[in-house]
Structure 1
Amino acid sequence: MKIDLNADLGEGYGPWSMGDDDALLGLVSSANIACGFHAGDPLIMQRTVESAKARGVDVGAHVGFPDRQGFGRRVMQIDATELAAMVTYQLGALAGIVRAAGYRMTHLSFHGALGNMAAANAGLAEPLVRAVAAFNRELLIVSST
């Protein structure tokens, strides 16, 4: 039996960090890295990917609503087609950084309000899952309730 210990990382912005990502990377086997909408930025994403790679930690995208002020925890009513494009955009951002680092992206997790809404509403989840599959059918979708 194998247990995957997972954490959300890279959730700072600019010079501000949120939590001790380096310490967590010493404990987890997979990490969901914020992709810039609810938190994170390109440099934080790059540093987190590089640290995860150095420790052999699986990297996944942590995609959410464009809601920095509310940390992605506020419910937003966004057209499903536009929301699916936002998911693809965030996946692409992390995939580019992961590729440049010579690593792999294994999964994704929907953050905060987006994750809660998708878990409760199959009509919302369906276009998001289709967007993930169109991007990369091999990505696992990690969900929690």
Structure 2
Amino acid sequence: MAVIDINADLGEGFGIWTLGDDVALLDVITSANVACGFHAGDPLTIRRVCAEAVRRGVRIGAQVSYRDLAGFGRREMDVAPEELTAEVLYQIAALDGIARAEGGRISYVKPHGALYNRVARDPVQARAVTDAVRAYDASLPVLTLPGSSVYEVAEGLTVVAECFADRAYTPAGALVSRREPGAVIHDRDTVVRRAVRMAVDGVVEAVDGTEVALRARSICVHGDTPGAVELARSVRKALTEAGVRAEPFA
């Protein structure tokens, strides 16, 4: 039986503003990418998500980001490597502290938004992120795209390949920029069909119709899109029916 992890971004509310249904998603996913306060998330929101994740046995991942609350971490920034390493280390340590207070711990690290895309192609910033992970706990896996620059600089670290059920891909295997139309796929049947193909066949159809080979251990369904909970449920149900077992990678 094929095995895949299902992850989603959680804890992205801030103060009186809520984003997504964290608790409902925790009943579907196997790994939670929890915001660390730099792109979203406040201490109370983060603590509640960690507590609910521990209660359900869902793995907690540190979703580290550029320091960009106003832009939700989706604006690329030129941050000096030493500063970026320190900021990522700060986020990992903060989330792990809260997770441990709730009886758990973080199990992996996943960059968010613009940082995620940047480290996939920029070995300098990728090294800054991996240096932070290595400094905190070299046993923590890093979640990234197949073929990412992270693989080039991850000496001593475990790198886990990820695919996206609801994001469009370029022919080169990168994610289509959110500035482009159609970057996020909202049709449930399309998302479900793509998720099963990625998990079972290891391929995804790019925007030009070509097939891109990818082998991923984790599949992401975004938690901030309309109907995210039902979409995640549909994806998990379809994967199960296709003979794929949902299981954490960490």
Partner of 1:134: 135
Q: List aligned pairs for 1:83-122, cutoff 5 A.
A: 83-122=84-123
SS at match of 2:4: coil
Write the distance in 1 (CA, Å) between the matches of 2:132 and 2:94. 15
- Higher Cα Rg, which structure: 2
Partner of 1:7: 8
Q: Does 1:62 align with 2:63?
A: yes
Deviation for aligned residue 1:47 = 0.1
Write the distance in 2 (CA, Å) between the matches of 1:30 and 1:117. 23
SS at match of 1:6: strand
RMSD of aligned Cα (Å): 0.9
Deviation for aligned residue 1:89 = 0.4
Q: How many residues align?
A: 145
**Larger proportion of helix:** 1
SS at match of 1:3: strand
Deviation for aligned residue 1:138 = 1.1
Identity, in percent, stands at 48
Deviation for aligned residue 1:40 = 0.2
SS at match of 1:4: strand
Deviation for aligned residue 1:123 = 1.8
Give the AA of the match of 2:18. Answer: S
TM-score, normalised relative to structure 1 = 0.96
Deviation for aligned residue 1:60 = 0.6
Partner of 1:123: 124
Q: Does 1:17 align with 2:18?
A: yes
Moved more, 118-127 or 105-114: 118-127
Give the AA of the match of 1:76. Answer: M
Deviation for aligned residue 1:130 = 1.5
Give the AA of the match of 1:44. Answer: T
| Cα-to-partner distance string for 1:19-63 (whole Å, 9 max, x where unaligned) | 011111010000000000000011111000001011110001001
| Cα-to-partner distance string for 1:52-79 (whole Å, 9 max, x where unaligned) | 0111100010010111111000011111
* Runs ≥4 residues deviating over 3 A: none
Listed as ranges, the gaps of 5+ residues in structure 2 are: 146-173, 175-250
SS at match of 2:142: strand
Deviation for aligned residue 1:127 = 2.2
Deviation for aligned residue 1:111 = 0.4
TM-score, normalised relative to structure 2 = 0.57
Write the distance in 1 (CA, Å) between the matches of 2:56 and 2:11. 15
Give the AA of the match of 1:15. Answer: I
